[in-house]
Amino acid sequence: MIIKEIRMRRMEMRMKHPFTTSFGTMQDKPFLLLEAIDEEGNSGWGESVAFTYPWYAEETVETNAHVIRDILVPLLLEKEINHPDEVNELFAPIRRNNMAKAAIEGAVWDLYAKRNKQTLAEALGGKKEKIDVGISIGIQDSKEQMVETVRGFIEQGYKRIKMKIKPGTDIEIIRAVREAFPDVPLMADANSAYTLEDIELLKMLDDFDLMMVEQPLAHDDIIDHAKLQEELETPVCLDESIHSLEDARKAVELGSCRIINVKIGRVGGLTEARKIHDYCVGKGIALWCGGMLEAGIGRAHNVALTTLPGFTLPGDTAGSDRYWEEDIITPEVVAVDGEITVPSGYGIGYEPDLEKIKKYMVGEEVFRTENAQPNR
């Protein structure tokens, strides 16, 4: 296939509820939607997960727009692509900027699967027809509010509860939830809010039978996490520290984690995510698919990735209705009793809703050969 045109739409959507982590709170979500169009006029769709502020990673909507427009599009337009893995190779000379790369690469994966009359899950090698999903709950105003919020999601059938924690909002709130729900699969995500000086506090997490503690230490660390994992019974799960297969290999060899949260945008795309999957399966490292508060296109990619066999733990891909009054795909992603049925439609399997996309679009750039930016 030849990519003849790439459309980059700037979107602005507002989540139903604010989402608070150890970094802060967000509710408005500007993001970029990517559409890749081939020589036959077929379209594939991808979504950038970069936020407007570089608190989770170094990328932003603006850095993504620049790198996509000025660097990645010129590398891809008019190229003969036989398999989406070639996009990963084409982009390899560009350092990092993984969320920008993943947004475009995801559109090519969707296009490839559609041309091959496959679901994206099949194109990736996934076999599951349903995926188990959990829910990620932001920091709440009180432990009572957290307990009630958790109760609501347990009643909806979500298979695992992920709570955000930070110093001062950790042990007591986990204790309250564990006492209220002794058997619920429970985990905590610290988003790097602690250091090894907090090791005595972190060891207290072992009292609550957590599935894991996610990224307790620095966002770019694997050394201190290895020291922490030696002291902790609770499995450490890495998120922000893992940007590539190489990062995963080093973390596993050092013993920095027993679980990895794979996010397509953080690792640079589905090809790299699949490499991490294949490596971790061989090493007995459990995987789950993290979320970045995606709209429907990104959510659809997460569903497809989670069909791979090594994704053995419920991820953060909740239903569209958890985030949006209305999503930009039809049908929306629906979780029933903590399960999402993998769509049977070709590619991502959900139809981009062009009316809704237009409604939330605030800008668009169209790249074709005659006006693609020169590669600086």
Ligand X SMILES: O=C(O)CCC(=O)C1=CC=C[C@@H](O)[C@@H]1C(=O)O
Task: Give CA separation, 189 vs 18, 47, 162, 192, 321, in Å.
Answer: 17, 24, 7, 8, 22
Q: Select the binding partner of residue 170 from ligand X, Mg ion, none (C-beta < 5 to 8 A, by kind).
A: none
Candidates 164, 166, 275, 356; catalytic one: 164
Residue 189 in contact with Mg ion, rule: CB under 5 A: yes
DSSP state letter for 373? P
Q: How far apart (Å, rounded) are the C-alpha atoms in residues 75 and 139? A: 41
**Binding positions for ligand X, 279-318, rule CB under 6 A:** 290-293, 316, 318
From 8, 13, 21, 343, residue interacting with ligand X (rule: CB under 6 A): 21
| Cβ neighbours of residue 355 closer than 8 Å, sequence gap 6 or more | none
Count of Cβ atoms closer than 10 Å to residue 291 Cβ: 22
Q: How far apart (Å, rounded) are the C-alpha atoms in residues 297 and 72? A: 20
Q: Which stretch binds Mg ion (CB under 5 A): 172-180, 181-189, 227-235, 338-346?
A: 181-189
Burial class of residue 91, CB neighbours in 10 A (0-12, 13-18, 19+): buried
Q: For the CB of residue 93, give the shortest distance to Mg ion in the complex, in Å.
A: 29
Q: For the CB of residue 335, give the shortest distance to ligand X in the complex, in Å.
A: 11
Q: How far apart (Å, rounded) are the C-alpha atoms in residues 306 and 308? A: 5
Q: Do 19 and 374 meet the contact criterion of CB atoms below 8 Å apart?
A: no
From 35, 47, 110, 239, residue interacting with Mg ion (rule: CB under 5 A): 239
Residue 263 a catalytic site member: yes
Residue 221 in contact with Mg ion, rule: CB under 5 A: no
| Residue 239 known to bind ligand | yes
Q: How far apart (Å, rounded) are the C-alpha atoms in residues 120 and 109? A: 7
Q: For the CB of residue 26, give the shortest distance to ligand X in the complex, in Å.
A: 9
Here the tokens at position 140 are 């709440």
Q: For the CB of residue 25, give the shortest distance to ligand X in the complex, in Å.
A: 10
Residue 338 in contact with ligand X, rule: CB under 6 A: no
Q: Which of 88, 112, 90 is nearest to 36 (CA)?
A: 112
Q: For the CB of residue 299, give the shortest distance to Mg ion in the complex, in Å.
A: 17
Q: For the CB of residue 85, give the shortest distance to ligand X in the complex, in Å.
A: 26
Q: How far apart (Å, rounded) are the C-alpha atoms in residues 144 and 140? A: 9
Give the CA angle between residues 90, 81, 61 to the nearest 5°: 50
Task: Give CA separation, 376 vs 27, 59, 113, 348, 356, in Å.
Answer: 35, 20, 32, 33, 35
Residue 130 a catalytic site member: no
Give the nearer residue to ligand X in terms of CB position, either 21 or 241.
21
Q: Select the binding partner of residue 136 from ligand X, Mg ion, none (C-beta < 5 to 8 A, by kind).
A: ligand X
Give the nearer residue to ligand X in terms of CB position, either 56 or 346.
56
> In the stretch 194-223, what mask flags binding to ligand X with x, by CB under 6 A?
------------------------------
Q: Select the binding partner of residue 5 from ligand X, Mg ion, none (C-beta < 5 to 8 A, by kind).
A: none
Q: Do 244 and 266 meet the contact criterion of CB atoms below 8 Å apart?
A: no
| Residue 214 known to bind ligand | yes
From 5, 38, 110, 189, residue interacting with ligand X (rule: CB under 6 A): 189
Candidates 101, 114, 162, 263; catalytic one: 263
Give the nearer residue to Mg ion in terms of CB position, either 108 or 262.
262
Which residues of the chain form contacts with ligand X (CB under 6 A)?
21, 56, 136, 189, 191, 239, 290-293, 316, 318
Residues known to be catalytic: 164, 263
- Can you say which residues are annotated as belonging to the binding site for Mg(2+)? 189, 214, 239
